Structure 1
């Protein structure tokens, strides 16, 4: 569990509620189901309209990374690379096949398969770079749904406020209801702007950082597979491992 993310959400909500209360506001005045439906459902409807279904579902599935981010694989990868290098030098490239079959990572499986099949080093690099580019594009498109939600949410909040004001205008004959009606109308704006800046944008940025971490690892692995396929000196591969661990 990433307690920093949990603390961030709690702190943001506490600041809003505490500030609202210090100004004499009541918590109940911020609880407006109609405004919530307009803003949240409307926002994700707009996002879904611009996004392919599988990309949208992938982005929603990524939300769990905010609170349970993937564990860093750098130390394990460094250990695996050392084993691949040792076996390749001692027993030849075919000895890497058991590692390929054992791995659960599709990128590592592909890299080892290319090396075992005797593909030329430059071809190995080119194919794996294409794989990394495709992975990064796909994952960033999925994470982008939260950035898009942050863009749409404030505007839809304003739409909700306007709809509320329309309802207020329909009750001008009852002045006693105008004040509370206007307050309810503007709750939609609070929802829209608040969700965009306190949730959607932070989620999008955190997901992009996680994706960048994985892409960095894959880029280093691309160099490693190139070096192993080319039979480079172990010192070269040790430098790759050092760069992998430098930010662990």
Structure 2
């Protein structure tokens, strides 16, 4: 970026000559349009939601999650697994809520593990597909940039 602006300055040009509204509209609009055609609406929406992580990275959820698990283990020891029912009703994290409901319903450990593994892998797959949206943008933008120029 510095090289482009510096070269423009050395040649006696102004920065405003590098900015072209219609060309930017063609490039950005065309890139987003091409990626929307390629992706499902759910995947594109998730990608846009995850793009906020650039400016607002997620906080490390490990410590609060560990505290929850420790509290649940104390409740399960004192009251049994049915004591976790109230925690399942108030839990906001869908993964933890599903895990608690499976425990309260008396699911076998292997069934619970399998269900949660599928849930985790599905979430991971969805996020990988969302990442491919940005990969596709990187592929389309230069080509559409030629049209915009």
Q: Please report the TM-score for the alignment, with normalisation by the length of structure 1.
A: 0.56
Structure 1 residue ranges without an equivalent (≥5): 1-12, 161-187, 189-248
Alignment of 1:1-248 (within 5 A): 16-18=4-6, 20-160=8-148, 188=149
Cα deviation, residue 22, structure 1: 4.3
**Shift in alpha-carbon separation, 1:100–1:54, aligned structure 2, 3 A:** same
**Shift in alpha-carbon separation, 1:33–1:96, aligned structure 2, 3 A:** same
SS of structure 1 residue aligned to 2:92:
coil
What are the superposed Cα offsets for residues 162-191 of structure 1, whole Å, 9 maximum, x if unpaired? xxxxxxxxxxxxxxxxxxxxxxxxxx3xxx
SS of structure 2 residue aligned to 1:63:
helix
C-alpha separation in 2, matches of 1:18 and 1:76: 48
C-alpha separation in 2, matches of 1:22 and 1:97: 70
Cα deviation, residue 151, structure 1: 0.9
Cα deviation, residue 61, structure 1: 2.5
Cα deviation, residue 14, structure 1: 5.7
SS of structure 2 residue aligned to 1:97:
helix
Cα deviation, residue 79, structure 1: 0.8
Q: CA RMSD in A?
A: 1.8
Question: How many residue pairs align between the two structures?
Answer: 149
What are the superposed Cα offsets for residues 26-57 of structure 1, whole Å, 9 maximum, x if unpaired? 10111112211221111111101111123222
**Shift in alpha-carbon separation, 1:76–1:23, aligned structure 2, 3 A:** farther
